[in-house]
Amino acid sequence: MIVRLANGEPAWKGSGMDADSARGHLNAVLYGVDFHPDLKLDAARWPDFAGTRAVARVDLDIHQLTGLLNRRPDEVDGERRPVAIVELRSGEVVALLGPAGRPARRFTFLRRDAGDPAEILARFCEDTNLAPERATLLPQ
């Protein structure tokens, strides 16, 4: 859907935002979540997560995760699973990996960087406004 002004121009033109930023902002308004233009998502970083361990379980379906990140998770080459690679404001990079072959209702939270898993998960919750009760740390 494109919202247009009376002169036919897309409403986001002249706002200083590009089309993706404007779409994310409108989704944030519609779904009642904060807009996070400074979070970076980059599926090309998936190979960096080879051999990483699961840290937590995040109870969100794919639509809720899309709203939370203002972008749909990618499917990475060779993996038929939804994957979202997120660089947090702190510079730490985390991944959320969904199940293969069915709509994702739960994501596995992976961390690449060293540090306390609880702190990294707390920063992810803070940066994305994820309710902390939606994330459960796994035994290490």
pTM exceeds cut of 0.75? no
What is the Cα–Cα distance from 35 to 26, expressed in whole angstroms?
A: 9
Q: Is 47 in the same domain as 87?
A: yes
Q: Is 22 in the same domain as 60?
A: no
Q: Rounded to the nearest 5°, which phi and psi values hold at 43? A: -65, -20
Q: Is 10 in the same domain as 77?
A: no
Q: Which domain holds residue 13?
A: 1-32
Per-residue pLDDT of the chain (140 residues; tens, 9 = 90+): 555 555 666 655 555 556 666 666 666 556 555 445 456 677 888 888 888 889 999 999 888 888 888 888 888 767 678 889 988 888 888 999 988 877 778 999 999 888 899 999 999 999 888 999 999 999 98
Q: Is 50 in the same domain as 118?
A: yes
Q: Is 124 in the same domain as 59?
A: yes
Q: Is 50 in the same domain as 119?
A: yes
Q: Is 3 in the same domain as 53?
A: no
Q: Is 71 in the same domain as 14?
A: no
Q: Is 105 in the same domain as 53?
A: yes
Closest CA to 58 of 126, 125, 139: 125
The pLDDT value given to residue 10: 61
What is the Cα–Cα distance from 27 to 79, expressed in whole angstroms?
A: 27
Say how many Å lie between the first and final Cα of the chain, rounded.
45
